[in-house]
Chains A and B, each alone.
Chain A
Protein backbone atom coordinates (compact mmCIF):
# COMPACT_ATOMS: atom_id res chain seq x y z
CA UNK A 1 0.00 0.00 0.00
CA UNK A 2 1.32 3.42 -0.83
CA UNK A 3 0.00 6.94 -0.76
CA UNK A 4 0.36 9.68 -3.29
CA UNK A 5 -0.34 13.37 -2.80
CA UNK A 6 -3.53 14.64 -4.32
CA UNK A 7 -3.00 17.44 -6.74
CA UNK A 8 -3.18 20.80 -5.11
CA UNK A 9 -4.80 23.87 -6.55
CA UNK A 10 -3.54 27.22 -5.43
CA UNK A 11 -0.13 27.66 -3.96
CA UNK A 12 -0.31 26.76 -0.33
CA UNK A 13 1.65 29.83 0.64
CA UNK A 14 -1.30 31.99 -0.33
CA UNK A 15 -2.43 33.23 3.02
CA UNK A 16 -6.15 33.48 3.51
CA UNK A 17 -7.14 37.06 4.11
CA UNK A 18 -8.99 37.83 7.27
CA UNK A 19 -9.72 40.71 9.52
CA UNK A 20 -7.25 41.16 12.28
CA UNK A 21 -8.26 41.37 15.88
CA UNK A 22 -6.91 44.92 15.89
CA UNK A 23 -9.26 45.92 13.09
CA UNK A 24 -12.18 44.34 14.85
CA UNK A 25 -11.26 46.14 18.04
CA UNK A 26 -11.35 49.44 16.19
CA UNK A 27 -14.79 48.65 14.82
CA UNK A 28 -16.10 47.57 18.19
CA UNK A 29 -14.71 50.64 19.94
CA UNK A 30 -16.40 52.82 17.37
CA UNK A 31 -19.72 51.11 17.84
CA UNK A 32 -19.53 51.50 21.59
CA UNK A 33 -18.43 55.10 21.54
CA UNK A 34 -18.39 56.85 18.17
CA UNK A 35 -16.76 59.93 19.66
CA UNK A 36 -13.66 58.00 20.62
CA UNK A 37 -12.42 57.86 17.07
CA UNK A 38 -8.75 57.66 16.30
CA UNK A 39 -7.16 58.82 13.09
CA UNK A 40 -7.19 55.36 11.53
CA UNK A 41 -10.87 54.85 12.14
CA UNK A 42 -12.24 55.96 8.80
CA UNK A 43 -9.81 53.88 6.79
CA UNK A 44 -10.62 50.86 8.89
CA UNK A 45 -14.35 51.39 8.59
CA UNK A 46 -14.21 51.79 4.85
CA UNK A 47 -11.97 48.79 4.40
CA UNK A 48 -14.15 46.70 6.65
CA UNK A 49 -17.29 47.69 4.84
CA UNK A 50 -15.86 47.16 1.37
CA UNK A 51 -14.06 43.94 1.96
CA UNK A 52 -14.68 40.86 -0.09
CA UNK A 53 -16.77 38.43 1.92
CA UNK A 54 -16.41 35.55 -0.48
CA UNK A 55 -14.66 32.54 1.01
CA UNK A 56 -10.90 32.43 0.64
CA UNK A 57 -9.15 29.23 -0.21
CA UNK A 58 -5.81 27.74 0.72
CA UNK A 59 -4.97 24.51 -1.03
CA UNK A 60 -1.99 22.17 -1.03
CA UNK A 61 -1.62 18.50 -1.71
CA UNK A 62 -4.03 16.64 0.51
CA UNK A 63 -5.25 19.66 2.47
CA UNK A 64 -7.65 22.47 1.61
CA UNK A 65 -9.27 25.25 3.64
CA UNK A 66 -12.22 27.38 2.63
CA UNK A 67 -12.55 30.28 5.03
CA UNK A 68 -15.49 32.62 5.33
CA UNK A 69 -14.80 36.02 6.91
CA UNK A 70 -17.21 37.49 9.38
CA UNK A 71 -19.91 39.42 7.57
CA UNK A 72 -19.34 43.13 7.40
CA UNK A 73 -21.48 44.84 10.00
CA UNK A 74 -23.87 47.63 9.18
CA UNK A 75 -21.42 50.11 10.59
CA UNK A 76 -23.17 53.19 9.31
CA UNK A 77 -26.49 52.43 10.91
CA UNK A 78 -27.60 53.42 14.36
CA UNK A 79 -29.01 56.40 16.19
CA UNK A 80 -25.60 57.84 16.98
CA UNK A 81 -25.21 58.91 13.37
CA UNK A 82 -28.17 61.25 13.79
CA UNK A 83 -26.22 63.24 16.36
CA UNK A 84 -25.04 66.43 14.60
CA UNK A 85 -21.84 66.54 16.63
CA UNK A 86 -20.96 62.99 15.70
CA UNK A 87 -21.77 63.61 12.08
CA UNK A 88 -19.56 66.67 12.04
CA UNK A 89 -16.70 64.76 13.63
CA UNK A 90 -17.08 61.92 11.19
CA UNK A 91 -17.27 64.29 8.26
CA UNK A 92 -14.02 65.94 9.27
CA UNK A 93 -12.34 62.58 9.70
CA UNK A 94 -13.33 61.50 6.24
CA UNK A 95 -12.21 64.80 4.72
CA UNK A 96 -8.90 64.47 6.52
CA UNK A 97 -8.59 60.99 5.06
CA UNK A 98 -9.01 62.43 1.57
CA UNK A 99 -12.46 61.07 0.92
CA UNK A 100 -15.04 62.73 -1.22
CA UNK A 101 -18.79 62.43 -1.67
CA UNK A 102 -18.17 61.12 -5.18
CA UNK A 103 -16.33 58.08 -3.91
CA UNK A 104 -18.48 55.13 -4.91
CA UNK A 105 -16.65 52.84 -2.53
CA UNK A 106 -18.31 54.63 0.37
CA UNK A 107 -21.72 53.84 1.72
CA UNK A 108 -24.68 56.09 0.99
CA UNK A 109 -24.64 57.29 4.60
CA UNK A 110 -21.01 58.22 4.44
CA UNK A 111 -21.44 60.10 1.16
CA UNK A 112 -24.41 61.93 2.63
CA UNK A 113 -22.35 63.04 5.60
CA UNK A 114 -19.63 64.26 3.26
CA UNK A 115 -22.15 66.34 1.38
CA UNK A 116 -23.24 68.15 4.52
CA UNK A 117 -21.94 71.62 5.13
CA UNK A 118 -19.24 71.98 7.74
Chain B
Protein backbone atom coordinates (compact mmCIF):
# COMPACT_ATOMS: atom_id res chain seq x y z
CA UNK B 1 0.00 0.00 0.00
CA UNK B 2 1.27 3.45 -0.77
CA UNK B 3 0.74 6.90 -2.13
CA UNK B 4 1.60 7.38 -5.76
CA UNK B 5 3.87 10.10 -7.08
CA UNK B 6 0.91 11.62 -8.87
CA UNK B 7 -1.05 11.52 -5.65
CA UNK B 8 1.69 13.15 -3.62
CA UNK B 9 2.17 15.88 -6.21
CA UNK B 10 -1.56 16.42 -6.31
CA UNK B 11 -1.68 16.80 -2.54
CA UNK B 12 1.09 19.39 -2.64
CA UNK B 13 -0.71 21.25 -5.39
CA UNK B 14 -3.89 21.31 -3.37
CA UNK B 15 -1.87 22.69 -0.46
CA UNK B 16 -1.05 25.84 -2.39
CA UNK B 17 -4.49 26.09 -4.00
CA UNK B 18 -3.57 25.07 -7.49
CA UNK B 19 -6.58 24.56 -9.68
CA UNK B 20 -6.91 20.82 -9.20
CA UNK B 21 -9.73 18.33 -8.79
CA UNK B 22 -10.05 17.40 -5.15
CA UNK B 23 -10.85 14.02 -3.68
CA UNK B 24 -14.03 15.32 -2.10
CA UNK B 25 -17.15 13.18 -2.23
CA UNK B 26 -18.38 14.68 -5.49
CA UNK B 27 -15.24 13.48 -7.28
CA UNK B 28 -13.92 10.54 -5.31
CA UNK B 29 -14.15 7.04 -6.73
CA UNK B 30 -12.98 3.75 -5.29
CA UNK B 31 -11.71 1.31 -7.89
CA UNK B 32 -11.08 -2.42 -7.79
CA UNK B 33 -9.10 -4.56 -10.17
CA UNK B 34 -8.67 -8.21 -11.02
CA UNK B 35 -7.36 -10.50 -13.70
CA UNK B 36 -3.97 -10.43 -15.38
CA UNK B 37 -1.63 -7.88 -13.84
CA UNK B 38 -3.81 -7.09 -10.85
CA UNK B 39 -1.38 -8.54 -8.34
CA UNK B 40 1.46 -6.35 -9.59
CA UNK B 41 3.17 -4.87 -6.56
CA UNK B 42 2.56 -1.25 -5.74
CA UNK B 43 4.96 1.21 -7.35
CA UNK B 44 4.89 4.96 -6.91
CA UNK B 45 4.87 5.61 -10.65
CA UNK B 46 1.58 3.81 -11.22
CA UNK B 47 -1.31 5.96 -12.34
CA UNK B 48 -4.08 3.37 -12.56
CA UNK B 49 -5.09 -0.05 -11.36
CA UNK B 50 -3.03 -2.79 -12.97
CA UNK B 51 -5.59 -5.54 -13.58
CA UNK B 52 -7.18 -6.49 -16.87
CA UNK B 53 -10.58 -5.96 -15.25
CA UNK B 54 -11.16 -2.65 -13.51
CA UNK B 55 -14.26 -1.07 -12.00
CA UNK B 56 -14.73 2.28 -10.31
CA UNK B 57 -17.64 3.33 -8.14
CA UNK B 58 -18.37 6.76 -6.72
CA UNK B 59 -17.78 7.02 -3.01
CA UNK B 60 -20.69 6.59 -0.66
CA UNK B 61 -22.19 9.66 0.95
CA UNK B 62 -19.86 11.38 3.46
CA UNK B 63 -16.79 9.58 2.09
CA UNK B 64 -13.87 10.09 1.86
CA UNK B 65 -13.59 11.25 5.43
CA UNK B 66 -10.63 12.04 7.65
CA UNK B 67 -10.07 11.49 11.35
CA UNK B 68 -6.67 12.50 12.67
CA UNK B 69 -4.21 11.01 10.19
CA UNK B 70 -6.52 8.42 8.70
CA UNK B 71 -8.29 8.90 5.38
CA UNK B 72 -11.24 6.54 4.90
CA UNK B 73 -12.88 5.99 1.52
CA UNK B 74 -15.87 3.77 0.93
CA UNK B 75 -17.94 2.67 -2.06
CA UNK B 76 -20.69 0.14 -2.61
CA UNK B 77 -20.56 -2.37 -5.45
CA UNK B 78 -23.98 -3.66 -6.48
CA UNK B 79 -24.92 -7.13 -7.67
CA UNK B 80 -23.81 -6.57 -11.25
CA UNK B 81 -20.63 -4.63 -10.47
CA UNK B 82 -17.10 -5.99 -10.64
CA UNK B 83 -17.97 -9.67 -10.58
CA UNK B 84 -14.49 -11.16 -10.54
CA UNK B 85 -11.68 -11.88 -8.11
CA UNK B 86 -10.49 -8.66 -6.52
CA UNK B 87 -6.75 -8.32 -6.12
CA UNK B 88 -6.28 -4.58 -5.82
CA UNK B 89 -8.06 -1.36 -4.97
CA UNK B 90 -7.34 2.33 -5.22
CA UNK B 91 -8.72 5.80 -4.65
CA UNK B 92 -9.29 8.17 -7.60
CA UNK B 93 -10.61 11.69 -8.04
CA UNK B 94 -12.66 10.83 -11.15
CA UNK B 95 -14.79 7.99 -12.52
CA UNK B 96 -12.19 7.49 -15.28
CA UNK B 97 -8.61 8.61 -15.75
CA UNK B 98 -7.98 11.30 -13.09
CA UNK B 99 -5.43 10.84 -10.31
CA UNK B 100 -4.87 7.60 -8.43
CA UNK B 101 -3.93 8.73 -4.94
CA UNK B 102 -3.12 5.41 -3.31
CA UNK B 103 -3.33 1.74 -4.21
CA UNK B 104 -3.58 -1.48 -2.18
CA UNK B 105 -2.71 -4.96 -3.45
CA UNK B 106 -3.79 -8.24 -1.87
CA UNK B 107 -3.98 -11.29 -4.12
CA UNK B 108 -7.44 -12.90 -4.22
CA UNK B 109 -8.56 -10.56 -1.49
CA UNK B 110 -12.21 -11.06 -2.31
CA UNK B 111 -14.32 -12.87 -4.87
CA UNK B 112 -17.38 -11.03 -6.05
CA UNK B 113 -20.19 -12.66 -8.00
CA UNK B 114 -23.82 -12.10 -8.84
CA UNK B 115 -24.87 -13.89 -5.66
CA UNK B 116 -23.83 -10.89 -3.64
CA UNK B 117 -26.37 -8.10 -3.31
CA UNK B 118 -23.79 -5.54 -2.30
CA UNK B 119 -20.14 -5.37 -1.40
CA UNK B 120 -19.04 -2.37 0.60
CA UNK B 121 -15.37 -1.69 0.09
CA UNK B 122 -13.56 0.54 2.57
CA UNK B 123 -10.03 1.80 2.01
CA UNK B 124 -8.02 3.36 4.80
CA UNK B 125 -4.82 5.31 4.47
CA UNK B 126 -2.85 6.42 7.48
CA UNK B 127 -0.40 9.24 7.01
CA UNK B 128 2.13 9.91 9.74
CA UNK B 129 4.48 12.89 9.96
CA UNK B 130 8.07 11.93 9.36
Contacts and interface: CB of A to CB of B under 8 A. Distances in A.
Interface of A: 1-6, 12-13, 15-16, 18-21, 23-24, 58, 60-71
A27 to B, nearest CB: 10
Contacts of A63: 1, 89, 104, 106, 109, 121-124
Contact of B114 (A24, A67, A68): A24
A63 B107 CA distance: 12
Contacts of A23: 115
Given A3-B1, A18-B111, A65 B119 contact: yes
Contacts of B126: 3-6
Contacts of A15: 108, 110-111
Given A4-B126, A18-B111, A63-B89, A69 B117 contact: yes
B120 interface: yes
B3 A62 contact: no
B102 interface: yes
A62 B118 CA distance: 20
Interface class of chain B by DSSP: strand
Contacts, number: 103
Nearest to B102: A3
B111 A62 contact: no
Contacts of A66: 119-120, 122
B125 interface: yes
User: Which of the listed residues A19, A24, A70 has the most CB atoms from chain B within 10 Å of its own CB?
Assistant: A70
A51 to B, nearest CB: 10
B79 interface: yes
B116 A62 contact: no
Contacts of B120: 65-67
B108 to A, nearest CB: 7
